[in-house]
Amino acid sequence: MSTLEEIVNQLIDAISEKGKQKTLIELEPRLSGLEEEVSMLRSAIEEILQGEPEPEPEPEPEPEPRFITVLEGDFHPLWTQDPQWKWYRDGSFPSWNYGYNGTKTDERIPGQSWPRSEFISARDVPNFNGANGTAITWKQGSDPRVRWGGVMALPDAYDEIVFSYDIMFDDNWDFNKGGKLPGLATKDSKVIAGTIPTCSDGWSGRNMWGDPNFVSYVYHPDKTIKWGDGNQFPRPPRGVVNTITYHAKLNSSADAKDGFFKTFINGVEADNFPCRMYCGSESYRRGFNAVTWQIFYGGNSAGWEPRRDSTVTFGGYKVLAPKS
C-alpha cells in the first residue's frame, strides 16, 4: 500500500471516529513531498469535519391574538347648561346612557343652584395623543358631588375584558383627598356606590386617585365595608399623558375565588386585586357589559372639593375581549 493511500485510509478512519479525530498536524511528518495532495485533502477533510451548515430555523408563526378590539374611540361631549348630560355622537360612537348609572336624572344637589357650569366646564382638545381629547375643569370649591360622565353600554357581556384610556392630570391638578376615575361594571350591576353587595348584586371596579397614591376601588360580594375595597399603588405623574388599563376576569364558578381586577399604568402592572364578581348561584353570573365613564371628586362631603381650579384631559379609549 502506498504511503498516500495509507494516509488517506488513516484519515478516513480518524474521521469515522466521531469525537476522536486525529489532526492533520499529527500526520504532517509523513506527508513530505505531497504538499499539493495534502492541501487538497486538507480542504476536503475540513469540509467533512464541518459538515453541512445548519439550516436556519423557520420563523415561528405569530401567535394568534388572544384579545380583539370590540370598541374604540374618543370623547367629545357637547357641554350645555341643560341639567342632563349631553354627548356629541357621530354615528361611530356607541350608545350612551345619559347621567349617572344610566338614569335620566342630573343628581341635583339640595340647596345648590344650577346650571352645572357654575362648577365644571368641558372643552375639546384636538389631537390629544392622537385622539380628540376632552378637557374637564373643576372650579375651585366645586361641590364634590358634581360629576362628569355617563355609563357606556358595550356590545355584549364578556367574561373577561380589557379597558384602557388616556388621561393627563394638569400640572395644577389638585388631588386633595381623592376622587373617582372611569371603570367597569357587570350587567345590571347595582353596586356603583355606597352599598355592601349581595351575591346577586353584581360588581363594579375602577381606580380612585388619592394623595399620594392611587387605589383600586372595587364593589364585590365578599367585601364587608360600605365603600369600595382595594389596594394602594403609586400614582402616575401630573403633566404627562398616561394610559390606564383595567383587565378584569369573572370568577370561574360561584364558589371560586379566582376572579381579578388588575390595573396597568403605561403598560406596567400596578395592582392585582383578586375578587369574586358573583357568588351563591350560577344564575347570578353576568359578564362585563358597561364602562362607568365618570370622574368626580369625593367622597361626598365637605373637604373633598378642589382647592384650586383643576383640569384633567381624556383622550382615546379601547375595549378588548377574548377572541372567540
What's the pLDDT band for 26 if we cut at 50, 70, 90?
low
Single out the residue of 195, 201, 200, 185 nearest to residue 293, CA to CA: 185
From residue 322, how far is each of 70, 117, 168, 228, 243 by CA, in Å? 9, 40, 28, 27, 20
Which amino acid belongs to residue 33?
Answer: G
In this structure, the number of other CB atoms found within 10 A of the CB of residue 227 comes to 14
Say which residue the cell 379566582 belongs to.
258
The secondary structure element, H or E, covering residue 46 is helix 35-50
Q: What pLDDT sits at residue 25?
A: 53
pTM: 0.73
From residue 233, how far is each of 145, 184, 216, 243 by CA, in Å? 25, 19, 8, 15
**pLDDT above 80: residue 79:** no
**pLDDT above 50: residue 94:** no
What mean pLDDT do residues 170-199 have?
A: 88
**pLDDT above 80: residue 15:** no
What mean pLDDT do residues 262-287 have?
A: 96
What mean pLDDT do residues 306-324 have?
A: 93
Higher pLDDT, 188 or 224: 224
Kindly provide the b/e burial profile for residues 266-291, where b requires at least 16 CB atoms within 10 angstroms of the residue's own CB: eeeebbebebbbbbeeeebbbbbbbb
**pLDDT above 50: residue 87:** no
Which amino acid belongs to residue 187?
Answer: K
Alpha-carbon span 134 to 155, nearest angstrom: 24
In Å, how far from its chain's centre is CA 71?
14
**pLDDT above 70: residue 310:** yes
Alpha-carbon span 2 to 177, nearest angstrom: 99
What letter would DSSP give residue 100?
Answer: G
Alpha-carbon span 193 to 186, nearest angstrom: 14
Q: What pLDDT sits at residue 296?
A: 86
